[in-house]
Structure 1
Amino acid sequence: MVADTLIYHPTLSKFIKFIDSTPKREKCFRLVAYLSRFLSYYLQRQGFPLELVKKFADLKQHATFIRKGLRFLKPLNHLQAASKAYDDKVGDCVLNTTTVIKNLALAGYLTLDSISWFKMMGLIDSKKYKLVPVWSARFWLTALVAGVFNSVRTYRINTAKLADSEKTDANVLHKKIFDAKRKLVWDGLDIFICLNLLNYLHFSEGDIGFAGTITSIMGLRDLWNATPV
């Protein structure tokens, strides 16, 4: 029957597994937040009614609020990852060090982000801790810079291996090199967003929203590919 074909279709089954995960839902809301940010700016520039522009601006705020809630206690994940990388005495020193720095910075970023969430809920006076968003962005920037060094090191290691490898290993190494390049682009776009948050750059809301939309799609694509059928 048609109903059975749809219900048991592999794509639907994969989608159900995909959304049945807090991190994946959080990334979906990230896409909604940045896409809404881009659309509110674009529609305003194109002269659309302010009521429609406000709807997308409000959608961005709602999606951001939900994201912060979904990321509550996520710093524990990064603290554990940093600890494991620190205890790794076998792997490359640069990769381990940058992994430790990246995860500690992300833990700091997400901890401060939780304070912002408490302020949005009214549990903390909104007038207090005014520098929380600034320091949160600084921690995020630190994590991204560490990620760039990690990707560059990964690229160099695998490029050197490729020169001396047998043909049987070439495909695996090419994949690792491609992933490192892709991560550099990803982190570069997020650095662009972060520098605007810190007012080192002064691009428009549309530019920031567009960059965030791209990195959100990249993240969701990876999560989708990693979801078993």
Structure 2
Amino acid sequence: MVADTLIYHPTLTKLVTFWDSTPKREKSFRLLAYLSRFLAYYAYRKGYSAETISLFKDLKSHFTFIRKGLRFFKPINHLQTAAKTYDNKLLDPVLQATTVIRNLGYAGYLTLDTVVWFKLLGLIDKKNYPNVGKWASRFWFIGLVAGIVNSLHIIKSLSNEKISAENQAAREKKLYTAKRKLVWDLLDAFICLNTLDVLHFTEGDIGLAGIITSVMGLKDLWAATA
């Protein structure tokens, strides 16, 4: 039967498994939030009705709100990673330091972002901690800078490394991974710097950057899904 073919299709089965995970749902909502942000700007530029523009802005707000709730316990994960990396004395010192700083930065960012979520829920008076969002973005930027330095160090080390022909493919794969992560962090840094009012690009530019990094993240999570 056609219904059975659809229900038991491997792709659908993998999709169900994929979304049966909080981090993957969170990343999916991230994509939807940035897509809505981009479409709101696109609708504005194309002269669509105020109702259409408002619809996409509201969707962006709703998706962002859901994301914040799904990330409630993520700071703990980053703190654990920072602690384990700090205890690993066999790591390259630069990679060790940047990994620790990156995860501490993300932990600070996500903790403060939870405060923002509590304010949206009404658990904290909206007048309290007026700059908590900016401080969250600053911690995010610290984590991103550490990630950028980490990727640059890996790229430099691999480029200068002398290896045999049989190990060439492995090095190229590591180089690709590091370069891809560098682009990812640079795009997120672009978003962050606009949030901090250091850069002043359009909502469309920010939305497009967010769409790209969201797709990159979802692609990795999809590949890792059994």
Does the TM-score normalized on the shorter chain lie above 0.5? yes
2:1 matches 1:32? no
CA distance in 1, matches of 2:221, 2:141: 23
CA distance in 2, matches of 1:38, 1:86: 39
Cα drift, residue 131 of structure 1: 1.0
CA distance in 1, matches of 2:173, 2:13: 28
Aligned residue for 2:222? 224
Equivalent AA in structure 1 for residue 172 of structure 2: H
Aligned residue for 2:135? 135
CA distance in 1, matches of 2:167, 2:20: 35
CA distance in 2, matches of 1:75, 1:137: 15
Unaligned stretches of 5+ residues in structure 2: none
2:90 match: secondary structure:
coil
Aligned residue for 2:180? 182
Cα drift, residue 184 of structure 1: 1.0
Aligned residue for 2:16? 16
Aligned residue for 2:145? 145
2:44 matches 1:72? no
Cα drift, residue 6 of structure 1: 2.3
CA distance in 1, matches of 2:44, 2:104: 39
2:50 matches 1:85? no
Cα drift, residue 156 of structure 1: 1.7
Equivalent AA in structure 2 for residue 40 of structure 1: A
TM-score, structure 2 as length reference: 0.97
Equivalent AA in structure 2 for residue 220 of structure 1: L
Cα drift, residue 2 of structure 1: 3.0
Aligned residue for 2:156? 156
Aligned residue for 1:215? 213
Unaligned stretches of 5+ residues in structure 1: none
Identity of aligned residues (%): 61
How many pairs does the alignment contain?
226
CA distance in 2, matches of 1:31, 1:170: 35
CA distance in 2, matches of 1:40, 1:33: 11
Cα drift, residue 124 of structure 1: 0.4
Aligned residue for 2:111? 111
Aligned residue for 1:198? 196
1:69 match: secondary structure:
helix
Equivalent AA in structure 2 for residue 204 of structure 1: T
Equivalent AA in structure 2 for residue 180 of structure 1: A
